[in-house]
Amino acid sequence: MKIYKIKYLAITIFSLLIISCNNNDDNTMAEIAVDFSGTFVQKDQMGRPAVNTVFVSAASKDDFNTTIPSEQGALFQSMFEANLTGLSPAYASAGDKNALGLDAAAFTGLLATDVLNVSLDGTTTFYDGTNVLTGRALADDVITVELLLIFGGEDFSENPTLSNDNVNENDKEFSTSFPYLASPW
Amino acid sequence: MKKTRILVATVFAAIIGLITISADHIDAPAASGTTADITDFYAFQAEDPNNLVFVANVQGLLSPAATATASFDENVMVEFNIDTNGDNVEDLVIQAIPRDGKMYFFGPYAPSMTGLNSTINEMATTSEVAISSSSAITANQNGMKFFAGPRDDPFFMDFAQYGAILGGTATGFNDPGADTFAGTNVLSIVVEVPKSQIGGSGTINTWVEAKSKQ
């Protein structure tokens, strides 16, 4: 017991000495190197909102998260299309399209490659009535846009009780300046 | 009695599961509820129109109490991927990784390898910002702006009702709906970067990845 105490005391004193030495060396030593080594392996990924949640079947969600975007379309488009037509009556008839003019195959072909398209030339929004898929701003009501494209049919008029969740804005206001997101609760 | 309890627990877990999956919140078994769980990704033109802002949020649905003890995982790197030539393969990355109370940023730079596995090139442009608690600490370095810390979850949706619709217990949304994410926080990483450093003009494809140290 006593020996341990002495050991601890010795270690403590030794540590203090080292710290003191460092403090006294006039910053001639470089900052202690921070270790960033190693290989980092993908666990989760995301481009557009809610894509994995809505369009990927339960058993494939991890696979989707660990497939690189350039390979997602070929591997997942048919699953996306089956899940879309299973979910929404707006694509039930041959020739049915959404308001972007895309049928089930074309729409899921777009979504299966899960990247966010972003314009560097101006307005950035998921959809603002004029611009389509030019980014994602904090205040964009992305869920209603997606519900409209899934359930709303050619002119947003189909399945009205399914095509808007009626939550149109965040619970806190965003800032116009960096870091833009609202303070935490 | 035991069976009933198990059943109740299962149903409860299923409901919680339904309620908590959204945007990308808790979207898949291997990422769910871990420090590598991305909840949302945003990319938008900054207040200064010469800049673009990237936001990655992780660890969703944090109550105010849980937020106080939540922290970024030093074994998880968050990587913003930028494809400038339309092939959906990253040409540039911005990597963010925490060390001892600071979030370090590398890039934007062209990675030596693309895809599922990444390393950090310490020769790339390196920036850092102290990780915030409740008030925002920001840094301006190398022509960019940086933030890391808890924020209100900017996502909003009546996810509970969506779950009820999928579960067959409701036929449509309510009006008004109820924001399932109201009053909850996420851990945010925000980077504002000059457009000239990520392609300049035209359209880029972007996505975010959470990568764990092997």
In tens, the pLDDT along B79-135 reads 999 999 999 999 999 999 999 999 999 999 999 999 999 999 999 999 999 999 999
B169 assigned to some structural domain: no
CA trace torsion B78, B84, B89, B92 (10° rounding): -40
B206 assigned to some structural domain: yes
Task: Determine the structural domain holding residue B203 and report its residue range.
Answer: 38-157+177-212
Cβ-Cβ contacts under 8 Å for A49 (sequence gap 6 or more)? A126, A136, A142, A143, A146, B23, B24, B40, B41, B155
Q: Do B175 and A166 touch (CB under 8 A)?
A: yes
Kindly report the nearest CA distance between residue B130 and chain A, in angstroms: 14
Q: Do A118 and B118 touch (CB under 8 A)?
A: no
B113 assigned to some structural domain: yes
User: Which residue on chain A is closest to B17 by alpha carbon?
Assistant: A53
Q: Is A62 on the interface with B (CB under 8 A)?
A: yes
State how many domains chain B has. 1
From B131, B140, B181, B132, select the one nearest B161 (Cα to Cα): B181
Kindly report the nearest CA distance between residue B109 and chain A, in angstroms: 16
Q: What is the pLDDT of residue B153?
A: 98
Q: Count contacts between A and B (CB, < 8 Å).
A: 274
B105 assigned to some structural domain: yes
ipTM comes to 0.89
pLDDT tens profile A100-119: 999 999 999 999 999 999 99
Is the pLDDT at B33 greater than 80? The verdict is no
B11 assigned to some structural domain: no
User: Which residue on chain B is closest to A165 by alpha carbon?
Assistant: B173
Contact indicator for B138, B146 with CB cutoff of 8 Å: yes
Q: Do A45 and B52 touch (CB under 8 A)?
A: no
